[in-house]
Structure 1
Amino acid sequence: MNAPCAIQHPRVSPENLGDPATFQRLLAQEKVPVPAFLKPAPAAGLGDADLAVDRYFSADFHRREMAGMWPRVWQFVGRDEAIPNAGDHLVYDIGDRSVIVMRGEDGVVRGFGNSCLHRGIALRPEGGHVEQLRCPFHGFTWDLAGAMKSLPCSWDFKHLEPARQDLPQVRVETWAGFIFINFDKDAEPLQSWLGVMPAHFADYGLDRATTLLHVRKRIPCNWKLAQEAFFESFHVRATHPHIMTFTDDVDSQYDVFSDNVARCITPMSIASPNLSGVTEAEVMRDCIAASGRMSDANGAAHQLPAGMTAREYIGEMNREAYAAASGVDLSQATLAELQDAILYSAFPNFQIWAGYCGNIVYRAIPDGQNPESCIYDVMVLGRHKAGEVRPAAPAVHWLSDDEPFSSAPELGALGPVLDQDMRNLPHMTRGLKASLTGVVTLASYQELRIRAHHHTLDKYLAD
């Protein structure tokens, strides 16, 4: 595991730092055509109102979310390669609801309510593989398409209509190998819900994506706090100082495209304005060693050629490695798409890094009915070559409550960074409860995604 790089450079006074136009200036230096979607989105116009602190711990607010929002939104359940064969399934729990997402004999993925139609016992305690769905209490069974297969003592159930004994289903739709469910039969299609994302990700080969790792952990905070920890980058100075040598944190670009979709772009392989005196060689070394998502992790093995910037070197390193892994010519890829932190979010709780490889996926799910706990997932996607069989997804690595993310070796340098974020979250809950103002005050620009998230949430709660 890569150890965080020690900061040995003078820090600059932070009060007047930050230039959202920096990323566009970097795009102007690209030697290949720049996709139009990397340009800034129009101003969102969401205002500067404060947020009430009880959104993050109130049991009543949690109940309102469970009643007014979660039953009506598209929710990311898992990756297609996690259930490749008939009978493979995932169990997705949200509040008191539970859904079995299963691949049928016909290859179709369906979502069944995880409840026996007889006495209501959960049909599956967790994901896995079955030949049929069988009630563990009395043995009622359904086939992989949810049709009633066997009804014990059927003579005693003459009052039932056979056609109504199939398992009820929720909507299931997919995008780029991601499986989503929605409890609302009248919800707009997933592709429409995702807005600009399918078009923005069209060239990134997600049809050949494969899960490289999947780590899950219970976090003692509200699900929104866990989500919002990755909604802005200007916390890097205080929370992740060791990545400032290669992360241009306060110069990030923030975009809101719709009620559902927003984005943050943080330039990488560029030293933070918070530091002075960082050399290009140090930027290159530290980015390779400590970013956690470049094509190599041994910074000491690389030497920056004279006259070349760290951004150019790492971009070309990634271009070569990603092209070899995917079997795709990436000569048209921008340096930005090969290395920058281009992080999209789809309401309410799906986040994915754009680019040609190393796509990190985040998801926070409420932990049952506890407003001060959530289940947090981190995945990383790679690529396989066209024509090759997609590798099986790795098993989910469930960390215990007292295990840090850095104890998962597959996360590499990402583990310590995640731990730094997670250490803040319990203290945020404590501080929010202790607030004497009763409100959270947000930055107008750098915390735009947080404001947009609550703006959309309020629309559901107002109905």
Structure 2
Amino acid sequence: MSAESNAPFAPLRAVPAGEGPRSSGLTYQQLLDTDTRTVPEVLRMESARELPVVRVPIDRYTSREFHDLEVEKVWKKTWQFACREDDIPEVGDHTLYEIADMSVLIVRGEDSLIRAFPNTCLHRGRALKDRPGRSPSLRCPFHSWEWNLDGSLKGLPCRWDFPHVKREEYGLPQYGTATWGGFVFINMDPNAEAFESFIGDLPTHFERWPLEDRYTEAHVAHLMRCNWKAAQEAFMEAYHVVSTHPQILAGIGDANSQYDVWDNFSRAITANMTPSPHLGHDPSEQEMLESIITTSLDSAPNFRVPDGMTARELFAQMARMQLQANAPSVTLLTDAELNDSFYYSLFPNMHPWGAYNKIVYRFRPNGNDPDTSIMEVIYLAPFRGKRPAPAPIHWLDYDEPWTEAPELGPLAKVFAQDTFNLPKVQRGLKSAQHTHVTFAHYQETKIRHFHTLMDQYLSR
């Protein structure tokens, strides 16, 4: 079940910038040369690697056998985003993170430390908690066995009937926990690599855009009729734009996006307010503006690009004015940071967007069913003053439209376009006579990188 490769596994060789097939359009680095502000080093980075994966077996998306292998080799072994710190701000707050058929209980202790435990009673296995909440201890509803917030055994009824239960031996097992950017990560593997090693240089990429200074403005979870990998891969490339989002071609540099990979994370940068290389003409600055604004605001703009100004300059100016109330440092940001899409992926399933785009995606298997999944869209917004309470999760069933979540705003229609094909992808994969799916050399770099990392985990 391993991916077909054109090279053995080894440290990934760096590739000189620009080497290999590329669109004939303007490169992102050339576009940065036109910025009205000094461009930060993080945007000037280019990090191409020689990736072995060029295609993967279809059963990677359809097989229960492969799903079970993922559970053992990936979900039980890797660091994964479980919740936000502001989901459990006070002592005794707890929440649940569920992956496949496993449930993890995440708790804020009396010492304010965050701990994660298997959500199971050590007596006869009942889940300790069924939903998020706050409590002074962790008490099983079945027989009232009880643990302190740090996982130490507090007590149990009829203590005389359990002479074999030693307090020091019956503390709740603990999983590894770590935090970055306001996110809480867990790892079930007692021999896991240090989180700092796993996440690498990703925090330095976000130093200008601190995610810990945001709050959860919206959190929508949608049940999907497709494998979780098929779902997330639709959001890891701009190759689909020409077919899926043709209404924005006048204002998006899709085919000339930049793709970069590092150890456990990757990045794509897609420029906005610049035309697609697919177009057969050069749109006006007004046409570029309208193609993006109409999608973003759900209506055509009632203003025009002034003479002598580009659409990128105008849009950046508007964004600075809009964001300044809650993010004063936005005045220092470049036109690029306020126009363009910087979509990162941290293995295996977390996708935070850079700059002041609010989006974070998370994709998970839906229980043990390889044919369904959970796609989550989280909006992280800046704020001033007291931190607002995080928005509760809003669940959408398989056939409910994204527009049933008004908190997503006009982007709900874009998500609907993005996910329209996915049930049909899964159905097509189940009907396939060919054995593999094939990836583009450059535009699907992030997907190839993901499967390269998947292979490395599977081989351990």
TM-score, normalisation: structure 2:
0.91
Q: Counterpart of 1:273 in structure 2: which amino acid? A: P
The aligned counterpart of 2:146 is: 141
Name the CA distance, whole Å, in 2 between partners of 1:111 and 1:302.
Answer: 52
The aligned counterpart of 2:121 is: 116
The aligned counterpart of 2:182 is: 177
Name the CA distance, whole Å, in 2 between partners of 1:331 and 1:400.
Answer: 40
Structure 2 unaligned runs (5+)?
Answer: 1-20
Name the CA distance, whole Å, in 2 between partners of 1:135 and 1:20.
Answer: 61
The aligned counterpart of 2:451 is: 454
Name the CA distance, whole Å, in 2 between partners of 1:68 and 1:228.
Answer: 20
Q: Counterpart of 1:367 in structure 2: which amino acid? A: N
The aligned counterpart of 2:234 is: 229
Cα distance, 1:291 vs structure 2: 3.1
The aligned counterpart of 1:263 is: 267
Name the CA distance, whole Å, in 1 between partners of 2:27 and 2:46.
Answer: 15
- Spell out the pairing of 1:35-434 with structure 2 (5 A cutoff): 35-47=40-52, 49-258=54-263, 260-275=264-279, 276=281, 278-291=283-296, 299-326=300-327, 328-355=328-355, 357-385=356-384, 388-434=385-431
Query: CA 1:20/1:253 → structure 2, altered by over 3 Å: closer, same or farther?
Result: farther
The DSSP-based 3-state class of the residue aligned with 2:373 is strand
Q: What is the CA deviation profile of residues 143-187 of structure 1, one whole-angstrom value per residue up to 9, with x for unaligned ones?
A: 222222221110001111111222111111000101110011222
Q: Counterpart of 1:252 in structure 2: which amino acid? A: S
8 Å contact 2:151–2:171 — kept in the other structure?
A: yes
Cα distance, 1:422 vs structure 2: 1.4
Q: Counterpart of 1:437 in structure 2: which amino acid? A: H
Cα distance, 1:40 vs structure 2: 4.6
Deviating more after overlay: 122-131 vs 337-346: 122-131
8 Å contact 2:249–2:291 — kept in the other structure?
A: no
Cα distance, 1:301 vs structure 2: 3.8
The aligned counterpart of 1:12 is: none
8 Å contact 2:53–2:452 — kept in the other structure?
A: no
Name the CA distance, whole Å, in 2 between partners of 1:21 and 1:90.
Answer: 47
Name the CA distance, whole Å, in 1 between partners of 2:363 and 2:313.
Answer: 34
8 Å contact 2:361–2:377 — kept in the other structure?
A: yes
Deviating more after overlay: 119-128 vs 20-29: 20-29
The DSSP-based 3-state class of the residue aligned with 1:216 is strand
Q: What is the CA deviation profile of residues 208-243 of structure 1, one whole-angstrom value per residue up to 9, with x for unaligned ones?
A: 111111100111111111110111001011111222
Name the CA distance, whole Å, in 1 between partners of 2:141 and 2:353.
Answer: 41
Name the CA distance, whole Å, in 2 between partners of 1:90 and 1:396.
Answer: 12
Q: Counterpart of 2:301 in structure 1: which amino acid? A: A
Query: CA 1:43/1:161 → structure 2, altered by over 3 Å: closer, same or farther?
Result: same
8 Å contact 1:234–1:446 — kept in the other structure?
A: yes
Cα distance, 1:47 vs structure 2: 4.0
Name the CA distance, whole Å, in 1 between partners of 2:303 and 2:164.
Answer: 75
Q: What is the CA deviation profile of residues 19-75 of structure 1, one whole-angstrom value per residue up to 9, with x for unaligned ones?
A: 475211111112322122223534311146321111101111111111111111111
8 Å contact 1:262–1:345 — kept in the other structure?
A: yes
Name the CA distance, whole Å, in 2 between partners of 1:112 and 1:180.
Answer: 13
Name the CA distance, whole Å, in 2 between partners of 1:390 and 1:244.
Answer: 38
Q: What is the CA deviation profile of residues 184-219 of structure 1, one whole-angstrom value per residue up to 9, with x for unaligned ones?
A: 122222232112210010111323111111100111
8 Å contact 1:209–1:381 — kept in the other structure?
A: yes
Name the CA distance, whole Å, in 1 between partners of 2:326 and 2:302.
Answer: 20
Query: CA 1:19/1:183 → structure 2, altered by over 3 Å: closer, same or farther?
Result: farther
Name the CA distance, whole Å, in 1 between partners of 2:300 and 2:200.
Answer: 38
Name the CA distance, whole Å, in 1 between partners of 2:432 and 2:395.
Answer: 33
Q: Counterpart of 1:340 in structure 2: which amino acid? A: D
Name the CA distance, whole Å, in 1 between partners of 2:57 and 2:245.
Answer: 27
Name the CA distance, whole Å, in 2 between partners of 1:50 and 1:400.
Answer: 32
Q: Counterpart of 2:351 in structure 1: which amino acid? A: Q
Q: Counterpart of 2:346 in structure 1: which amino acid? A: A
Q: Counterpart of 2:243 in structure 1: which amino acid? A: A
Query: CA 1:28/1:127 → structure 2, altered by over 3 Å: closer, same or farther?
Result: same
Structure 1 unaligned runs (5+)?
Answer: 1-15
Which of residues 433, 437, 446 in structure 2 aligns to 1:436? 433
Q: What is the CA deviation profile of residues 257-292 of structure 1, one whole-angstrom value per residue up to 9, with x for unaligned ones?
A: 12x111100001223233335321232233233136
Q: What is the CA deviation profile of residues 345-398 of structure 1, one whole-angstrom value per residue up to 9, with x for unaligned ones?
A: 00000001100x23200010111111111111101111123xx22111011111
8 Å contact 1:40–1:253 — kept in the other structure?
A: no
8 Å contact 2:83–2:183 — kept in the other structure?
A: yes
Name the CA distance, whole Å, in 2 between partners of 1:39 and 1:21.
Answer: 15
Name the CA distance, whole Å, in 2 between partners of 1:63 and 1:87.
Answer: 34
Q: Counterpart of 1:314 in structure 2: which amino acid? A: F
The DSSP-based 3-state class of the residue aligned with 1:158 is coil
Q: Counterpart of 2:335 in structure 1: which amino acid? A: L
Identity of aligned residues (%): 42
Name the CA distance, whole Å, in 2 between partners of 1:127 and 1:290.
Answer: 36
Cα distance, 1:299 vs structure 2: 4.7
Output the aligned Cα RMSD: 1.8
Name the CA distance, whole Å, in 1 between partners of 2:357 and 2:237.
Answer: 20
Cα distance, 1:254 vs structure 2: 0.6
Q: Counterpart of 1:435 in structure 2: which amino acid? A: A
8 Å contact 2:362–2:377 — kept in the other structure?
A: yes
Q: Counterpart of 2:383 in structure 1: which amino acid? A: H
